[in-house]
């Protein structure tokens, strides 16, 4: 989970360089054509409303459907205010991705051993409907797909995960993320070649975590949870795939179905998050990710979600928000970070706050160390945080 960053430069807290890590939905007509096909072929869609990309539009749509005789599913009632969590949750962003290539089982195992409370899974769907743990819609920057399948590139110059079956995907090897020029996206990270890191499915990772909980977790007296993102649902829908039911089904197969389970589901698309709650009847804890409209992440209006009215609307659906760091703290060179007031506003409507992404090798302006950043977030009252360096955040909390 991060923003797409359409420029080659990297930015603290934000994304991983250029090109289609996420994609803005296509124009309306193709989207309607894709939606029609899903209404015909997928019963899970027909029981709920077609996603609307405006939070306020969804309320109007629900009212209209009530008068038309359709089944209307009621969002959650208003939440009671909450206090900051006593113990800040350490959420391993794609595993211990500061030390090992992102979203490899090796990175997840290391994050577990480093004391993470939750391990993150970004999920993209394969050509044959398999939920695969990967951050990007494309395979270009983290795998050897150019070498293995040189002729499978799309007209835009990219290799899309959804164009490959799982059997094909499992033949690829992964490496540390690279930029467009082929150089490491972040200097100083894992540089060895020929190790043989592989893609894996969501089911495989969930089984892996269950196994770790039964051994290492049992020995340490703890249970590490899962924090799963439904990636770019509108884009998947344009490709003829309904991602959310596939992700929820995988979670359910491994026992994650209730609000009390050690699991979160996150998404940048408010329309889809609302559908997951009221259309697909998920009882899991939901997190509304919040970026900037300029990222092209979805048609969700993020500045609106940050207003008191927007947060109240989010609270009818979600259990918390995952904002970008500068939405929580104001940063400036040579100055101490100052809370924006977002945490207090979110807590006032019952929403937890889990900002992204803490990186020891990409600090915001005015921040001299990762522990200093952790302490500033603690002072702001956040309830958890995503990080590439779980061990360093855990140490800063002691």
Over residues 343-367, the pLDDT tens digits come to 999 999 999 999 999 999 999 999 9
Give the range among 129-138, 162-171, 176-185 with minimum mean pLDDT: 176-185
| Annotation marks residue 103 as catalytic | no
Please identify which of the residues 22, 103, 135, 175 carries the catalytic annotation. 135
Which of the four pLDDT bands, split at 50, 70 and 90, describes residue 82? confident
What per-residue confidence (pLDDT) applies to 3? 54
Distance between CA atoms of residues 125 and 249, nearest Å: 13
Q: Residue 43: pLDDT above 90?
A: no
Query: What is the tens place of the pLDDT at every residue in 85-119?
Result: 889 999 999 999 999 999 999 999 999 999 999 99
What per-residue confidence (pLDDT) applies to 20? 57
Q: Residue 33: pLDDT above 50?
A: no
Which of the four pLDDT bands, split at 50, 70 and 90, describes residue 78? confident
CATH T-level topology, domain 28-64+73-397: TIM Barrel (3.20.20)
What is the four-CA torsion angle of 370, 373, 375, 377, rounded to 10 degrees? Answer: -140
Range 15-42 average pLDDT? 39
Distance between CA atoms of residues 232 and 298, nearest Å: 7
Query: What is the tens place of the pLDDT at every residue in 146-155?
Result: 999 999 999 9
Joined tokens for residue 1: 């989970």
Partner residues linked to 384 by β-bridges: 89
| Annotation marks residue 375 as catalytic | no
- Domain assignments of the chain as residue spans, ordered by start: 28-64+73-397
CB atoms within 10 A of CB 241: 20
Please identify which of the residues 22, 93, 175, 354 carries the catalytic annotation. 93
Range 281-294 average pLDDT? 98
């Amino acid at each position: 989970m991060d923003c797409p960053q359409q420029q080659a430069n990297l930015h603290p807290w934000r994304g991983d360089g250029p090109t289609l890590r996420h994609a803005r939905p296509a124009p309306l007509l193709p989207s309607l054509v894709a939606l029609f096909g899903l209404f015909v072929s997928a019963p899970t869609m027909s029981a709920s409303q077609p996603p609307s990309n405006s939070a306020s539009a969804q309320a109007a749509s629900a009212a209209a459907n009530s008068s038309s005789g359709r089944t209307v599913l009621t969002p959650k009632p208003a939440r009671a205010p909450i206090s900051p969590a006593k113990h800040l949750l350490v959420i391993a962003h794609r595993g211990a991705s500061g030390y090992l290539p992102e979203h490899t089982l090796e990175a997840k195992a290391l994050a577990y051993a480093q004391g993470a409370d939750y391990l993150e899974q970004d999920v993209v769907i394969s050509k044959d409907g398999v939920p695969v743990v990967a951050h990007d819609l494309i395979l270009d920057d983290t795998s050897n797909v150019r070498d293995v399948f040189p002729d499978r590139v799309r007209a835009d110059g990219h290799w899309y995960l959804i164009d490959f079956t799982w059997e094909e995907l499992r033949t690829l090897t992964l490496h540390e993320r690279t930029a467009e020029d082929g150089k490491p996206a972040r200097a100083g990270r894992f540089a060895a070649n020929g190790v043989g890191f592989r893609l894996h499915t969501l089911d495989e990772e969930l089984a892996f975590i269950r196994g770790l909980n039964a051994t290492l977790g049992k020995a340490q007296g703890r249970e590490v949870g899962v924090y799963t993102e439904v990636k770019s649902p509108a884009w998947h829908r344009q490709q003829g795939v309904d991602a959310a039911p596939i992700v929820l089904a995988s979670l359910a197969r491994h026992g994650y179905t209730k609000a009390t389970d050690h699991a979160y589901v996150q998404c940048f698309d408010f329309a889809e998050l609302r559908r997951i709650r009221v259309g697909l009847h998920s009882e899991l804890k939901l997190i509304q990710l919040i970026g900037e409209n300029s990222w092209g992440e979805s048609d969700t209006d993020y500045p609106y979600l940050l207003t008191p009215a927007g947060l109240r609307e989010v609270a009818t659906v979600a259990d918390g928000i995952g904002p970008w760091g500068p939405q929580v703290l104001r940063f400036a060179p040579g100055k101490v970070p100052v809370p924006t007031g977002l945490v207090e506003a979110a807590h006032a409507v019952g929403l937890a706050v889990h900002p992204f992404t803490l990186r020891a090798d990409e600090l915001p302006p005015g921040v001299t160390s990762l522990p200093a950043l952790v302490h500033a977030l603690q002072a702001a009252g956040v309830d958890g945080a995503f990080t590439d360096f779980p061990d360093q955040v855990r140490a800063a909390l002691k």
